[in-house]
């Protein structure tokens, strides 16, 4: 990586942490200058405005979360294992949080993007739809391949799984207790296992 | 209500809306002065500091949400009807939102309380525990009375139900589409119905 790219990535990482912990609207350019030890010009050299920096820092934070999922999901081949891989990665965040501290960057940005910072909404919505369609796609392919029962509802369950996981982060952060995430993961595991077609039930052995 | 009480309630309502939409940290005293058309002294006359106003406005917003639940839940007597009542009230917020606009005041405050505004965390946590123990209590009493199956897990399901509902609000706000809330409600309805003890299965008729 060239020096300019390294500086740009360093600004993205530091501002993503500040945005995720303090909120996008509450984080000032001075906060980012203090965290990066850069002058205003050094930051605007890489990002045309705070709006551009917010968008790119959000995508940077989401990419850091997705990295861990992509590696593990590609190793798994069937629908049930892939869905369990999502829950495992999610669980790993409890003991080994992603580099952008301050909770789930999707949830945090979503709360601000809805009324306070509408400029962020299209990016958050697109990223959220990426996660939801990833779950939906695994379910759909699993049904098409005969791995999952035909009465599984990919649209419905993708919303339920994403909602429950994001809500669980909020609960566990408020209680400072991972038990809520663990309960939601255990519940979703049972649901996912119940989707599986069990050939022996039909094959008589 | 005396004039002083009316003014206090008006400040609470206006600031609760601002805090819920813009965020607690991003809302300045000037914003509250502009919304209430009051001078600084007129606000500090009722609230010793912005911190006190934030706490009281949060509790005011939560009370507005709870009002609707309490009325409906008291009318229902058995566990299954009471849990369905919670889902019905939740559904009513889609077409008839509570007076404090800007999404769920619990979810919004929780996101800020976790890193940005730790001063709010004890109140949010207490309110959240109030909602979770309400669900847990309905499940426990339902089991004790023989209405719900004995293998229902009140601790686990109370976390799952609250997480899924709060996550669903986030999804529907981002997509500007109530379908995610509707899917989560439909899923929870099926879960709750599956908890019911069906006497005819055991009584042979």
Query: Does residue B144 lie within any of the structural domains?
Result: yes
Query: Does residue A124 lie within any of the structural domains?
Result: yes
| pLDDT of B181 strictly over 70 | yes
**Mutation site, A108, A116, A164, interface B, largest B CB count within 10 A:** A164
Q: How confident is the model at residue A99 (pLDDT cuts 50, 70, 90)?
A: confident
Q: Which residues contact A88 (CB under 8 A, 6 or more apart)?
A: A72
Q: Please, which contacts does B131-137 make with residues 24 or more away whose CB atoms are closer than 8 Å?
A: B131/B106, B131/B162, B132/A171, B132/B158, B132/B159, B132/B162, B133/B158, B134/B73, B135/B83, B135/B86, B135/B161, B135/B162
Task: Categorise residue A78: left if φ over 0, alpha if ψ from -120 to 50, beta otherwise.
Answer: beta
Distance (Å, rounded) from C-alpha B14 to C-alpha B35? 6
Q: How confident is the model at residue A205 (pLDDT cuts 50, 70, 90)?
A: very low
What pLDDT score was predicted for residue B98? 84
In the DSSP assignment, the letter for residue B197 is: -
Quick check: A23 contacting B, CB < 8 Å? yes
Which structural domain range is residue B185 located in?
Answer: 60-203
Query: Does residue A64 lie within any of the structural domains?
Result: yes
What pLDDT score was predicted for residue B205? 42
Say whether B196 sits in a helix, a strand or coil.
strand
What pLDDT score was predicted for residue A1? 74
Chain B residues close to A162, C-beta within 8 Å: 167, 171
In the DSSP assignment, the letter for residue B148 is: B
Query: Does residue A48 lie within any of the structural domains?
Result: no
Q: Which residues contact B146 (CB under 8 A, 6 or more apart)?
A: B197
Query: Does residue A141 lie within any of the structural domains?
Result: yes
Query: Does residue B42 lie within any of the structural domains?
Result: no
Number of domains, chain B: 1
Q: Using an 8 Å Cβ cutoff, are B102 and B20 in contact?
A: yes
Query: Does residue B52 lie within any of the structural domains?
Result: no
How distant is the Cα of A142 from the closest Cα of chain B, in angstroms? 20
Give pLDDT tens digits for B25-45: 989 999 999 999 999 999 999
CB contact under 8 A, A167 and B171: no
Cα–Cα distances (Å) from A183 to A2, A160, A172, B156, B188, in that order, read 45, 15, 10, 5, 15
Query: Does residue A9 lie within any of the structural domains?
Result: no
Range B100-124 average pLDDT: 92
Task: Categorise residue A176: left if φ over 0, alpha if ψ from -120 to 50, beta otherwise.
Answer: left
Range A75-100 average pLDDT: 92
Question: What is the helix (H) or strand (E) element at residue B89, kind and residue range?
Answer: helix B79-95
- Give the CATH number, domain containing residue B196: 1.10.357.10
Range A101-109 average pLDDT: 92
Give pLDDT tens digits for B113-153: 988 899 999 999 999 999 999 999 999 999 999 999 999 99
Give pLDDT tens digits for A17-64: 999 999 999 899 999 999 999 999 999 999 999 999 999 999 999 999
Give the rounded distance of the alpha carbon of B125 from its chain centre. Answer: 12
Quick check: B128 contacting A, CB < 8 Å? yes
**Mutation site, A101, A136, A163, A169, interface B, largest B CB count within 10 A:** A163
């Amino acid at each position: 990586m060239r020096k300019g790219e390294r500086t740009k990535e360093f600004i993205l990482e530091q501002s993503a942490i500040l945005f995720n912990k303090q909120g996008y609207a509450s984080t000032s350019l001075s906060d980012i200058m203090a965290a990066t030890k850069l002058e205003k010009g050094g930051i605007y050299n890489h990002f045309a405005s705070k709006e551009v920096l917010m968008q790119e820092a959000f995508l940077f934070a989401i990419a850091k979360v997705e990295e861990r999922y992509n590696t593990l999901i590609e190793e798994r081949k069937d629908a049930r294992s892939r869905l369990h891989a999502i829950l495992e990665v999610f669980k790993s965040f409890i003991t080994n949080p992603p580099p952008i501290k301050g909770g789930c960057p999707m949830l945090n940005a979503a709360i601000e993007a809805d009324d306070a910072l509408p400029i962020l909404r299209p990016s958050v919505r697109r990223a959220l739809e990426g996660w939801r369609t990833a779950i939906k796609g695994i379910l759909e392919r699993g049904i098409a391949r005969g791995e999952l029962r035909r009465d599984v509802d990919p649209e419905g369950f993708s919303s339920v799984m994403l909602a429950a996981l994001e809500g669980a982060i909020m609960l566990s952060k408020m209680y400072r207790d991972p038990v809520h995430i663990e309960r939601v993961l255990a519940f979703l595991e049972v649901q996912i296992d119940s989707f599986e077609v069990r050939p022996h039930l039909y094959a008589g052995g």
